[in-house]
Amino acid sequence: MRAVGSSIPRVDARHKVTGEALYPGDIDRPGQLWLRVVFAERPHARIRGIDTSAAMAAPGVVAVFTAADVPNNVYGLNTLDQPVLCGPGAPRGMADADIVRFVGDQVALVVAETETQANSAARLLQIDFEDLPVVSDPLAAMQPGSPLVHGYRDNNVLLEYHVRTGDVEAGFARADVVVEHTYRTGAQEHAYLQPEAGLSYIDALGRIVVVVAGQWVHEDRQQIAHALGLPEDQVVVRYPAIGGAFGGREDMSVQIVLALAAWRLKQRGIDRPVKTIWSRRESIIGHHKRHPSVVSAKWGATRDGKLVAQQVDFTSDCGAYAYTSTKVLGNATLACLGPYVCDNVHVDARTVYTNNVPGGAYRGFGGPQGHFAAELQMDRLAEALGMDPLELRLRNAWHEGSLMATRSVLPAGVTIVPVLERLAAEISGSENGGQSPRPSPQSPVPSPHAPFLTSLDASAGRRLRGTGIACCFKNVGFSLGYRDVCNATVELYGTGEIERVVVRHAAAEVGQGTHTVMAQVAAEVVGVPPEQVELIVQDTAETENSGSVSASRMTFMAGNAIKGAAEQALARWQDEERPAIAHFEYVPRATTPYDKLTGQSDPNITHGYCAQAVEVEVDPDTGHVHVLQVISVNDVGRAINPQQVEGQIEGAVAQSVGWTTHENFVQRDGRVLTDQLSTYLIPTVVDVANVKSVILEIPDPQGPLGARGMAEMPFIPTAPAIVAAVHDATGVWFDEIPLTPERVWRGLRAAAR
């Protein structure tokens, strides 16, 4: 059996089914203290002072830390714009670190003997707040006179991008049909099952060790060292098992504050570990969300279905701090055009500070918001032209050698056409043994979960059915001029035969299966069974920088790095070196940033492509939308582990069905109203659709053994395909998600009048 292409069990599966896998909250060290983070709990305010005396005097309290204890009170993944702790008195950092900008800003750290004591003492902290005017809508935040979220700036627009290609007015003049609509998408909470937690201590070498769940050990280390004003080699970041991420652990949560507390305690002669576990509510207010977006799009096409003009205005709600908003914006600026050739393009895109919970990385990273508008524009054009939506897409889809709106040739391996063609075949049933994947409308076909849909049952009457399609591209790897790198080391041990293969790699296993994929790639190249591969992973003390598990990059990047290291180690083995050890730094082809005025660039290393068909059932009396079936066609280049690939498709679709139909993250005046899993509802086992995963393996020319990244793209087409299916069922277009029953019911009522 070959290692690559086999659905071997995950390397971590046994520990995960026995309860032996240790997540950050499961790890204790002798003598540990408990840390409680005190959050601002108000969206915009100045902290005039903090009186810690009552908290310090409370039973069991060992220390209370505030901004004055932070050596360099500023941090940020891409933009240094956030205090570690809000308040006055830090020696260095942000000049206005005394300003609180969202409810989840961290203000103080209470360290006590027990969790209960830390929690009780936290309530005794006296924080003197002066409330400031709140701006919670990105469009309002762009108006003159809006309160400024960051006072040193002229306005709240963090960043703008522009794309100018051809002459969009000339394009509209040529167009036989023009469609113009404004689309809105909501925030989404990651709702990974494991709330933020971690442990920090000083090791025998005097280094600060932080045991935590994240997505990039080396970046966490850099941000901790920066805030503490220490060299990076004084900090070790180590990930144990990680309970989900989806982008939600890309930015700091407990990392810096845990390190700060352990380090400051040690300076006071208290050499004790510090542990924290956030509650679900703290997790929900304390980390970023998928950006809400408002997208106005005006597109034109000729009668024969040729796209001749795309004009898009894109705004995302950055929230209080940048996080990855600028990078998400970079992706959205092109995603809002879809995978289509068009000679006349005009995009204005921006991300805008508000006093909401920050927007940031979440599976798809701007792709879902952009494609929501792009794909529904294609449906609107198809409707206006009287053309089949899939046919319209095929007529405009990118081909090998096509130019993007950035006037660069697409990365080789453009496969949106075969992906769409396969979807068409799946829909017509020719790839399905002649059987239509769609149940016939006459048959009763209760969904397997129907007994639990009580509100649907309540109306026992009509159910309307419809189908819709959508497609997408997704960049693989870091984009727009970021120098992406990935390190790996492969060590071969044995005498005559290779008995043991050790792979050192920093990649975080957040559930996506990357460690299993790494073992499979190493085994394939070295020519041993995967069981012989040992992994030393996700630890800055043991591995070199491998970059983040984000941007669908790790299979592609780690695969190339491990393949390179394994090939070199094998050559040394053949030269009789024992052990044979090789390190390899993989650097993919360079990309370039947007030109400020025209957007001209070579933005992405490579792409993945996906297309989906969706069938829904709508109850017109209650407004409930139930997604029955999703066919997802995905070109993954090469499926290293087909079962894990299918698992990513099924999981992505479930998350996207949630985002589209019922995950309703509500913020009012900067306050989070849905701060529990009882008010922010994610899909349960009875809410998910049947998913048919179709994996295409058209090798990516740059991919390791042909593989390209794939775990984001199946999220992207689901939302517009659902909206198209709801339109097919009801005759009504919905331009805003989530499709809550109330929104659908109101929309249907309004259309009926």
Partner 1 sequence: MRHDISFTVNGEPYNIAVESHHNLLQVLREQLVLTGTKNGCSEGECGACTVLLNGEPVNACLVLGVEADGHEIVTVEGLATDGHLAPIQQTMIDAGGTQCGFCTPGVLIAAHALLQRNPNPSETDIREGLVGNLCRCTGYTRIVDAVFEAARLQRVSNQ
- Contact residues for partner 1 (CB under 8 A)? 7, 9-10, 12-23, 25-26, 28, 190-195, 241-246, 277, 279-280, 448-449, 451-452, 510-513, 643-644, 646-647, 650-655, 676-678, 682-686, 688, 690-691
Q: Which is nearer to partner 1, 205 or 686 (CB)?
A: 686
Whether 640 and 707 have beta carbons less than 8 Å apart is answered as yes
Rounded Cα–Cα distance for residues 128 and 497 (Å): 69
* Least distance between partner 1 and beta carbon 7 (Å): 7
Of 124, 77, 467, the closest CA to residue 288 belongs to 77
CB of 611 to partner 1, least distance (A): 18
Q: How near is the Cβ of 241 to partner 1 at its closest, in Å?
A: 7
Minimum CB–partner distance for residue 188 and partner 1 (Å): 11
Q: CB 677 → partner 1: shortest distance, Å?
A: 4
**240, 24 Cβ separation under 8 angstroms:** yes
Residues 654 and 683: their CA atoms lie apart, in Å, by 7
How distant, in Å, are the alpha carbons of 36, 87, 193 from that of 278?
8, 21, 12
Fill in the DSSP letter of residue 522. Answer: H
- Least spacing, CB of residue 703 vs partner 1, in Å: 22
**316 touches 186 (CB < 8 A):** no
C-alpha 269 chain-centroid distance: 41
371/515 with CB nearer partner 1: 515
Selection from 97, 60, 59 nearest residue 76 by Cα:
97
DSSP code at position 443? S
Residues 6+ apart with CB under 8 A from 3: 519, 520, 521, 523, 524, 529, 530
Q: Which of 532/644 has CB closer to partner 1?
A: 644
Comparison of 281 and 465: residue with beta carbon closer to partner 1: 281
Nearer to partner 1, 443 or 678 (CB): 678
HEC string of 40-106? CCCCCEEEEEEECHHHHCCCCEEEEECHHHCCEECECCCCCCECCCCCCCCCEECCCCCEECCCCCE
| 627 strand-pairing partners | 616
* Spatial separation of the C-alpha atoms in residues 167 and 375, rounded to whole Å: 22
Shortest separation between residue 454's beta carbon and partner 1, angstroms: 12
What's the closest the beta carbon of residue 716 comes to partner 1, in angstroms? 15
Instruction: Report the nearest approach of partner 1 to the CB of residue 309 (Å).
Output: 38
- Tell me the Cα Rg of the chain: 26
What is the smallest separation between the CB atom of 89 and partner 1, expressed in angstroms? 34
Q: For 136, phi and psi rounded to 5 degrees?
A: -125, 5
What is the distance between the alpha carbons of residues 373 and 296, in angstroms, rounded to a whole number?
Answer: 8
Cα gap 294→143, rounded to integer Å = 15
Token couple for 44: 């915009």
Nearer to partner 1, 448 or 527 (CB): 448
516 versus 604: smaller Cβ distance to partner 1: 516
**Strand 498-505 to strand 667-668: parallel, antiparallel, or no bridges (unpaired)?**
unpaired
Cis check: omega of the bond before 389, within 30 degrees of 0: no
How many degrees, rounded to 5, is the angle at CA 126 between CA 43 and CA 152?
A: 40
Nearer to partner 1, 19 or 401 (CB): 19
Distance, C-alpha 679 to centroid of its chain: 22
CB of 729 to partner 1, least distance (A): 23
Sign, CA dihedral 639-642-648-653, equals positive
CA neighbor of 199 nearest in space, from 438, 28, 421: 28
Taking the complex as a whole, how short is the minimal distance between the CB of residue 675 and partner 1, in angstroms? 11
CB-nearer residue toward partner 1: 115 or 567 = 115
Angle between helix 642-661 and 718-730 (nearest 10): 50
Of residues 23 and 482, the one with the C-beta less far from partner 1: 23
C-beta closer to partner 1: residue 193 or 666: 193
Exposure class string for 56-79: b at 16+ Cβ within 10 A, else e:
eebebbbbbbbbebbbbbbbbbeb
What is the smallest separation between the CB atom of 276 and partner 1, expressed in angstroms? 13
Mode of pairing for the β-strands spanning 690-696 and 580-586: unpaired
Our CB check for partner 1 shows the closer of 249 and 638 to be 249
> Min. distance of Cβ 44 from partner 1 in angstroms?
28
User: In terms of CB distance, is 195 or 599 closer to partner 1?
Assistant: 195
Comparison of 199 and 392: residue with beta carbon closer to partner 1? 199
